[in-house]
Amino acid sequence: MKNFDMAGKTVVITGASRGIGAAAARAFADAGAQVVLVARSRDRIVEIAGEIGKNALAVPCDVSRYWEVEQAIGAAIETFGSVDVIVNNAGVIDPMGALADIDPEAWAKAIDINLKGAMHGMRAAIGPMIQQGSGTIITVSSGAAHNALEGWSAYCASKAGAFMLTQVTDRETRGKGVRVMGLSPGTVATDMQKDIKASGIGPVSQLDWSDHIPPEWAAQALVWMCTPEADSYLGQDVSLRDENVRQMVGVA
């Protein structure tokens, strides 16, 4: 894989306890960044931060609560002096099933995490980034943001909303030094894919495990997106299915 220099940068990653988030924490740390791991699973992020070392901070946080996200950003600034990147990665796939059958409260919870959680991360980070005149906001998106999939109404709706947030926030902040993008990684070999497989719902559940990319590829893409090479994708979703993107990221 390519090497990217993130020395001196502070990166906040939500959903950092596993999957893409955990891989991203390690990738940014390997690139020289200070990383702030944010997730509800306190023990897991503390463990990962311990593995990374002194340049990592674990902050237990429920992204569906704005004040908790705001405090996480504050902790990042207090500990490392700035927040230069936020990766809005926290997300859930449940509830899966026909809209006529699913629990409305479970549906709303998915919106709270996938859509409101992304907004909370953006909102909490924008002020400090504008004040320092620079910053990168990345939200982990999905093909489901652009394509309707039966049984995935909560996931599709929340990811589509998050993509629109990316576009709006880019328009509002690009002239103030803030870079805003989304990453659509394709299907990734994570616990979420195991849940999808077990559900038997939709075409993604029929894929073999070998069809999914490793989370390290998505993590590498996130680091690359913080470099000027990705500036042509501002306000857009970067698709890791694109072979040209894979070449630039260094995972082709």
Tokens of 117: 């959680």
Quote the CA–CA distance of 79 and 38 in Å, as a whole number: 14
The edge-to-edge listing of strands for the beta sheet with 56-60 is 56-60, 34-39, 10-14, 85-88, 135-140, 178-184, 237-239
Instruction: Output the DSSP codes for 27-84.
Output: HHHHTT-EEEEEES-HHHHHHHHHHH-TTEEEEE--TTSHHHHHHHHHHHHHHHS---
Calculate the dihedral angle through the C-alpha atoms of 123, 129, 131, 134, rounding to the nearest 10 degrees: -150
CB 113 within 8 A of CB 90: yes
The set of catalytic residues is 155
- 120-147: burial string, b at 16+ Cβ within 10 Å, e else: bbbbbbbebbeeeeebbbbbbbbbbbee
Q: What pairs with residue 86 in β-bridges?
A: 12, 137
Quote the CA–CA distance of 87 and 102 in Å, as a whole number: 29
Q: What pairs with residue 56 in β-bridges?
A: 35
